A and B are shown apart, each in its own frame.
Chain A
Amino acid sequence: MAYRTYLMVCAGTGCVANQSMKIKDKLETEIRKKGLQEEVSVVTTGCNGFCAVGPLMVVQPDGIFYQLLKETDIPFLVEEHFIKGRPVKELMYTPPKEKLPIPKMSDIPFFADQSLVVLRNRGLINPEIIDESIARGGYQALAKVLTTMTPDDVIQEIKASGLRGRGGGGFPTGIKWETCKRMPGDIHYVICNADEGDPGAFMDRSTIESDPHAVIEGMLIGAYAIGSSHGYVYIRNEYPIALERLQTALKQAREYGLLGTNIFNKNFNFDIKIARGAGAFVCGESTALMASIEGRPGEPRAKYVHMVERGLWDMPTCLNNVETWANVPQIILKGAQWFNSVGTGDVSADPWGGSKGTKVFSLAGKVNNTGLIEVPMGITLRKIIFDIGGGIKDGKKFKAVQTGGPSGGFIPESLLDLPVDYEELTKVGSMMGSGGMVVADEDNCMVDMAKYFLSFTQTESCGKCVPCREGTKRMLDILEKITVGEGTEEDLILLEELSSMVVESSLCALGGSAPNPVLTTLKYFREEYEAHVKDKKCPGHACRKLIQYKIDPVACVEKGHGCHVCAKNCPDGAIVGETKQAHTIDVMKCNKCGICYDVCKFDAISVE
């Protein structure tokens, strides 16, 4: 018998880390206990996107969204909702600053403003069962190209769609395929780049976790267009769930004959191997990635000769990102025009003339609704952060958003109405990148943020070329100097000079973009650098050497009656004072950890 109700439990990495598998087990136990196992089915899905409120589940067909579930909630929930028909309000989502919960997922602003192409199956299928993917139209696009389209037709369709690389470069996908197809060589390779290494980015990971067959089908179509029978997915080993689901998906596709020889009896052969990366950021760079597959150290090479000409094992190779591949089946099924009706600019004459379709972003940092979103190109940053993202945490003030991963630039409030588009983001000193988005609020120090991201790219620099290896190191030294109050105004000029040198002379895009956080913060938040250099102050109160905690003796006695809580909690024993009397901080002992500031209930402690 068919089930009447489906409980779609999120099993993306975020929710699994929050024990969603235990929630699933508990649901199944309770459902059996109540004798509902023939009526109510529990399904584990890929990332639902609203990671901030996980573990979560959606009840269908009612569309009720339950969040922040605990095992102890489950018996009550099963009894109330599935037997008595009373959805449990206490477990529903209530937007910040509001009182009434929103029962339906489709009414929650976080979901209502998104438009799903790549993530169309998220939360709807169990990614570990191929039939569920097929039920939602999986492999129909492959059937279409093999029965009704020539490889050139496929390439024309992709070109007309205006699809551009989602891994960061934004190179027109159709042109890449066409060039690769033309190149002579016994073997052509297609590669899926799933080596997503940006801090705070999890788009590709979630795409594979929620719909691995979309990626496999995209690669199959690309392989047919290019004339390839060998594919690789380069995926980092630190993505255990994505890796496992991909392996399962490949195995099931092979069993169905969707990978292998003579696919659909159309004399088309293709199979995919998995190459596991060890977590080096630079291996997301195409040439370093190929070196890594070949078993050599993951170092990039100069691209006088493009990879479409001589790539993996010196053969013509077409490499695209996970998200790019996952777009392909939908373009084939629904047509180029459907795809390019969404987005900015015009791609009919110039393939670089616009940004079409949707883009997946992972929203992280000081924003209320952290999670995974898919939005149409051309949407403003303001809409992403304040409508979908639900604004800044704890009612604080927005300061900047970094787009494009660790080597993206910071964009200030004045540019929040910027449409999300490859060219627009580059114009203001940032980039689309693979789609990381980190939000900073008034408490973030922009010098410190720039230092953090530069220290990441510096550590991840492979060291092959001097500008990246030495240049980023010297830049980091200067930033370190500034954050401890030893910077000079000349340092700011030197920092700018070094930045442009690293950008212009590095071998690959890692060095070529690493100074972006520094350059954009110097451009948009120069006053913060000057405060560090001239006044020796940190306006964001993040650089410990430049801040000082103080206790207001009046407030301490009158409001708090010298409660002594700060002194008890101080790890350095730096706070002295008797109960009912004013307390003071010994600046020599104070390590500026800020614990006293956090524990004082009377606002008697300030920082400057």
Chain B
Amino acid sequence: MGKISIEDLAKIQEAARYKVTLRQGAGRVRMNVHMGTCGIAAGARGILTAVMNEIEARNLHDVIITNSGCAGLCSQEPMMTVEVLGELAPVKYVQLTPEKVKKIFDSHVLRGSVVQEFALAVGSERTH
């Protein structure tokens, strides 16, 4: 890239927005994929990839991904806890598939409405 203009500063900033959000540990929504042995065996890696793909496809800058160990409910894996920070209590989703992840993005992440049919309970285990 050669000489840049004042407008280019804003473009560089915009392109890096998601990176900056993540590095500051800030974000509007936290999605925690459970990655215990049980979760991984049941396909948690695929769920994690699906979440990352959704974030990229929808060009979201405010969704952060974390992962945690087994939540103790191995029969319901793969699981994920979704939390709209400071607004809604964390919600646990069970027996996930990439299609279900898509729906959770449409409804919970973007519109703040919990997808009741995949939800197990409201509340969260400690992540660390």
Contact = CB atoms under 8 A, between A and B. Distances in A.
Contacts of A83: 35, 40
A258 interface: yes
Contact of A85 (B13, B26, B55, B67): B67
Contacts of A131: 12, 16
A134 interface: yes
A256 interface: yes
A105 to B, nearest CB: 8
Contacts of A5: 22, 65
B52 A139 contact: no
Contacts of B65: 4-5, 61
Contacts of A64: 128
Contacts of B19: 2-3, 6, 135
Nearest to A6: B23
Contacts of B18: 2
A3 B19 CA distance: 8
A61 B66 contact: yes
B66 A124 contact: no
Contact of A84 (B23, B69, B127): B69
B6 A143 contact: yes
A43 B64 CA distance: 18
A60 B25 contact: yes
A362 B51 CA distance: 43
A187 B35 CA distance: 64
Given A1-B52, A61-B26, A134-B13, A256 B3 contact: yes
Contact of B24 (A3, A124, A255): A124
Contacts of B21: 61
Task: Give the interface centre of A62, A87, A106, A255 by most chain B CB atoms within 10 Å.
Answer: A62
Interface in B14-71: 15-27, 30, 32-37, 40, 48, 52-53, 55-56, 64-69
A85 B35 contact: yes
Contacts of B33: 85
A186 B1 CA distance: 34
26 contacts: A1-B52, A1-B56, A5-B22, A39-B52, A60-B25, A61-B21, A61-B24, A61-B25, A61-B64, A62-B66, A82-B67, A83-B35, A84-B36, A84-B37, A84-B67, A85-B32, A85-B69, A124-B24, A131-B12, A134-B12, A134-B13, A134-B16, A136-B20, A137-B13, A256-B3, A264-B5
Interface of B: 1-6, 9, 12-13, 15-27, 30, 32-37, 40, 48, 52-53, 55-56, 64-69, 127-128
Interface of A: 1-6, 8, 39, 43, 60-64, 82-87, 103, 106, 124-125, 131-132, 134-137, 139-140, 143, 146-147, 255-258, 264-265
Q: Which 3 A-B pairs have the closest CB atoms?
A: A257-B3, A85-B67, A135-B16
